[in-house]
Structure 1
Amino acid sequence: MKATIERATLLKSLGHVQSVVERRNTIPILSNVLLEASADGTLKLMATDLDLQVVESVPVTVDQPGAITVSAHTLFDIVRKLPEGSQVSLSAADGKMLIVAGRARFNLQTLPRDDFPMIAEGDLPTSFELPAETLKQIIDKTRFAISTEETRYYLNGIFFHVADDVLKAAATDGHRLARVTVAKPEGAEGMPDVIVPRKCVGELRKLLDEVDGSVQVSLSSTKIRFGLGTAVLTSKLIDGTFPDYNRVIPTANDKLLKIDPTSFMQGVDRVATIASEKTRAVKMALDRDKITLSVTSPENGTAAEEVPGEYTSPGFEIGFNARYLMDILGQIDGDLVEVHLADAAAPTLIRENDKAPALYVLMPMRV
């Protein structure tokens, strides 16, 4: 294999694929990126961790077609440090790869292409397009609620399903729930319910920053593929059943607080400064148009702040985990948020308004 490519192009593509590669691998080939130069002038870069695979195709000058695998992180670090604007020559022969750029020369160990594992996609019967902006919004408004508990593996991702003729995406860790509803794309009829893993969500979000138009989504009940311009991301799906989250979305919370999310979030952040690391508990006392946030910490002392808000129901007190509350408030785009409450022990519903695509449920804490 012999090809020449501009440094910036190579660096950008390596940046996309190398982040899939785990730093510590028991299987040596999984530390490598596959480089495949074709006679038609494209270089295909591919990396995988056996659950997730990214392939990117870029234009290059190909002198000799061929394919080889080389350490992904090493190659990325080399290209990163090469002079800007330089042309990089890649040539592979006899188990080595020579990289030349300007006066710099590197000779790297390689492994044969035939050993490189590929994710067999199989048949992906459901296929539709989603605007990149819509997919970004879905991820940004739900992924903070994905569980990191490995024992509850079926919560370690975003759950996508079609219901009531719309596409819904939900994530929960048992303490909070985030759900976004978007118009059902054409072709999503009969789509299986799928859970997209956390790592795939993270890689997808990075790649979406460089996509302007639409993303082609194809899936079956076990795999999903995203077509993102020059890159294709394929991932296995989580094999599990997502809980029926509709049961925890309250419908009869009759106490309504309307408040500016920014000042609310800043108030929570300030009083939480002294909250104990373990519980992060903040107490909210509601009175007619007066909301008092307070924290009592045995080791640090007390803090209180009044925040303006519109509230006309009977007063009561409720406690929340400050970080969870701030995560949700940080997703509200408008200048007013509705907090629907029932009592100190019932789940609380938070949303911009009843027309907003996103809604959040937060479980209270005893304080």
Structure 2
Amino acid sequence: MKATLERTDLLKSLTHVHRVVERRNTIPILSNVLLRADGGTINLKATDLDLEIVEAVPAMVELPGATTVPAHMFYDIVRKLPEGSQVVLETTSDNATLEIRAGRSRFTVQMLPETDFPDLTAGEFSHSFSLSAADFRKLIDTTQFAISTEETRYYLNGIYLHTVDAPQGQQFRAVATDGHRLAQAEVPAPSGSAGMPGIIVPRKTVGEIQKLLEDPEASVQVELSDTKIRLTTGSVILTSKLIDGTFPDYGRVIPQGNDKELRVDRDEFKEAVDRVSTISSERGRAVKLSISEGRMILTVNNPDSGSATEELAAEYEAEPLEIGFNSRYLLDIANQLCSDTALFRLADSGSPTLIQDNTVDDCLFVLMPMRV
């Protein structure tokens, strides 16, 4: 194999691809990235057996061929090469090492045969549709923070994607929950998504998708089955296994009868929670909201370090209420709201609270209270 390509193009692709590779691998070939030179491109491929990313890079191929080299070392070498340089990749005659040349720099790295490289065979995809990168990114950004990290409840370790019938037409919805909070976002369902199976996309895959959807103007081709999802955007193809489990009936935890409405300036609220929580303990993180007509008082008491209070103007006309929340969870939700005013729908101090944008209703958040 011998090919020449731009360092910038190679680095951009390696940045996408090498992240999939775990730094510690018991199977040596999984530490490598596959390079396949053919026609006018080099295809880079990396996998951890659950997730696979393939990206094509334009190249001048003199001698077609394929090999694998250590992914993180290759990325570090290319990253440190001079900007604007041309990189030559050439396998040595004994087929044991790959030579990397750029300007006056020259490296040789050990190779493993490409025949050992595993293929995450996709199988048949039952549904295929196209979605704008901006819409897909919105679904992920709005719900990702609520993904559970508790490995025993593995079916919560991802985002649940499915279609639902709504008064405004069919919607493509994303939901994530960790049992303490729930985040839901939706966009109009794209053509071809009707009847798709409900799927749970794993946390690691969600993170990689988020990084690939850099261009909001781009379009994403989504193909899925009961066990796998494949996304194609630009020159990148991402294939991932799905979480094999049943997502809980989240509709049962979304409160329907919360009749006490509280409206507060989103930015003022966010900053106030951030300030008073400075004094909260790492373990507790509790902030108490004392809500009465026209105002809200935020209080944090930490027996080890002191206390903090702050008063905010608020629109509230129901009977006074005191309720406690985890301050970090409140901030996570406040950061996802888009309108200037946050709307809280409350029932009592022991029941889940519904939090939404005051003007937009395509996202909602549910937060369980804490005892304070």
TM-score (norm 2): 0.97
- What is the CA distance between 1:76 and its match in structure 2? 0.4
Distance across 2 between alignment mates of 1:125 and 1:83 = 46
Amino acid at match of 1:197: P
- What is the CA distance between 1:210 and its match in structure 2? 3.7
| Residue aligning to 1:279 | 284
Tell me if structure 1 keeps the 8 A contact 2:133–2:215: no
- What is the CA distance between 1:355 and its match in structure 2? 4.1
- What is the CA distance between 1:354 and its match in structure 2? 6.7
Q: How does 1:96-175 map to 2 (within 5 A)?
A: 96-164=97-165, 165-175=170-180
Q: How does 1:157-306 map to 2 (within 5 A)?
A: 157-164=158-165, 165-210=170-215, 212-306=217-311
1:64 matched to 2:63: yes
Amino acid at match of 1:156: N
Tell me if structure 2 keeps the 8 A contact 1:69–1:111: yes
Distance across 1 between alignment mates of 2:217 and 2:76 = 28
1:26 matched to 2:31: no
Tell me if structure 2 keeps the 8 A contact 1:211–1:228: no
- What is the CA distance between 1:49 and its match in structure 2? 0.4
Distance across 1 between alignment mates of 2:207 and 2:136 = 12
Tell me if structure 1 keeps the 8 A contact 2:43–2:57: yes
Amino acid at match of 1:155: L
| Residue aligning to 1:46 | 45
Amino acid at match of 2:267: T
- What is the CA distance between 1:353 and its match in structure 2? 3.3
SS in 1 for 2:111: strand
Distance across 2 between alignment mates of 1:108 and 1:184 = 47
- What is the CA distance between 1:82 and its match in structure 2? 0.4
1:256-290 Cα distance to aligned partner (Å, 9 max, x none): 00111111011111111111110100000001011
Tell me if structure 1 keeps the 8 A contact 2:186–2:363: yes
Tell me if structure 1 keeps the 8 A contact 2:142–2:336: yes
1:7 matched to 2:1: no
Tell me if structure 2 keeps the 8 A contact 1:211–1:229: no
- 2:326 corresponds to which of 321, 334, 338: 321
Amino acid at match of 1:168: R
Tell me if structure 1 keeps the 8 A contact 2:339–2:359: no
SS in 2 for 1:270: helix
1:112-162 Cα distance to aligned partner (Å, 9 max, x none): 000000101000010001100001111110000000111111000000111
| Residue aligning to 1:82 | 81
SS in 2 for 1:111: coil
Q: Which sections of structure 1, spanning at least 5 residues, go unmatched?
A: none
Distance across 2 between alignment mates of 1:26 and 1:286 = 55
Tell me the matched-pair count.
366
- 2:344 corresponds to which of 339, 345, 348: 339
- What is the CA distance between 1:308 and its match in structure 2? 1.3
SS in 2 for 1:134: helix
Alignment identity in percent?
57
Structure 1 residue ranges, 4+ long, deviating more than 6 angstroms after superposition:
none
